[in-house]
Amino acid sequence: MQYSVLACVGLAFLIYSLSMRQLERVEITGPMFFVITGAAIAFLLPNETAYLKSDLDHLLPLIELTLSIFLFTDAAKTKLSVLKHSFQYPSLLLFVALPLTLMAGIVIASLMFSQLTLLQAALVAIILTPTDAALSKGLLNSTAVPEKIREGINTESGLNDGLCVPIFLVLMLLAQEPSSTFSLADTGLVFARELGVAIIIAALSMAIIIPLIKFAMDRHYFSNNTSPFLVVGIAMTIFSIAQSFHSSGFIAVFVAGLIFDKFTEQPLREKLVEDSEHIADFTGLLIWCLFGFVCSYLVLPKITWPIIVFALLSATLIRIIPVMLSLQFTNLKFKERLTFAWFGPRGLASIVFTLMVIDTNIENKYQIATIAMTTILFSVFIHGMTTKPIADSFSKRN
């Protein structure tokens, strides 16, 4: 019965809530806990979870909406006014390290998996390029870690999802129709539609929503009790409108978040974003539970040594080397550069990209998904278990 699965998930949330501090002490993060929970449910209740395997595509809209909320809140927390004066490290990570990481991923995936075409190898690389700072909250919340590192990692994570989305969408379109001849003009048209229409929708929507918020605040229509739903409602509305116009809802909510950051007062913005993150965190943990379940039947039965080696390389060296090179000529110390390079965990964006590939007719899509999910799985545990020791090493040093 589905209720058995729901009971297990509910019990997992109860245990996690009651023992969060103890779990953090033994370096078990929320995503780690719920990935294990999802895998355990699939193993212990195989008959009750069988229906999920065929209906996985029906859950994709929920997962996409969750990512849209994270994209909006990440963009709304970028502190553009602060970044004008301290944009050196995030800009190097986004505009130097990110392209190098993408190119390195394409080359290594092409060499290690000969059955993948160049476009399919590029899909693997772009899926695994975005990072998710939520998996490194222990580092970001540690005051012992220099603020420039915490702000740099958080800003990179918030912005690289938005930068990767249009590239992913174009690559996915090309991979679905490899025999078609797309000219540079055709590719540019697709890019313009995905990007341009999304920006217009975001700008028009926020031009209406921000004055409405101020109007409601001035007349005391707005209640603090409803603040958690406001940002969620904004993200869901803009994402869905953009998707209905066949543009990118992810880009739309990301741009909307940047506009929200620019044109709302800081105290109000911070409260609204902070309140909405509790809802986003809840749905995010549900998705990690689902991810653990999917890994149990999609990844584990099909895992091979080449996939394991690539996953380890992607979670470590494929990011570390480009980041270290991009920060080589800054005034950062070696340990600080290595911390930037190490903390590139793969998270929600990579999961959404993977499920979007599964939902297409791309050839070798299940191998692409297996490679990507294995990397995400390794990253959850590798970066989750090293967050606290690295954060503590800064406090010992100080």
Q: What is the pLDDT of residue 61?
A: 83
**Interacting residues of 243 by C-beta distance below 8 A, sequence separation 6+:** 249
DSSP, residue by residue, 10-41: HHHHHHHHHTHHHHHHTT--HHHHHHHHHHHH
The predicted pLDDT at position 53 comes to 56
Tell me phi and psi for residue 163, to 5 degrees: -70, -35
Output the pLDDT for position 184: 66
DSSP 67: H
Look over the chain and give the mean of its residue pLDDT values, rounded to a whole number: 86
Between CA 198 and CA 193 the distance in angstroms is 8
Give the pLDDT of residue 375: 96
Return the closest-CA partner of residue 285 out of 173, 134, 386: 134
Contacts of residue 398, defined as CB under 8 A and 6 or more positions apart, other chains included, come to 144
Report pLDDT for 22: 86
Q: Quick one: pLDDT at residue 360?
A: 87
pLDDT in tens, 10-19: 999 999 999 9
Give dist(CA 167, CA 119) in Å, integer: 12
Nearest to 92 by CA among 315, 311, 317, 332: 332
The whole-number mean pLDDT for each consecutive block of 10 residues of the chain, a chain of 398 residues, reads: 83 92 83 93 73 65 85 77 66 92 97 94 96 82 84 81 83 79 67 82 95 86 74 93 88 89 82 81 90 86 93 96 93 92 91 89 92 95 90 76
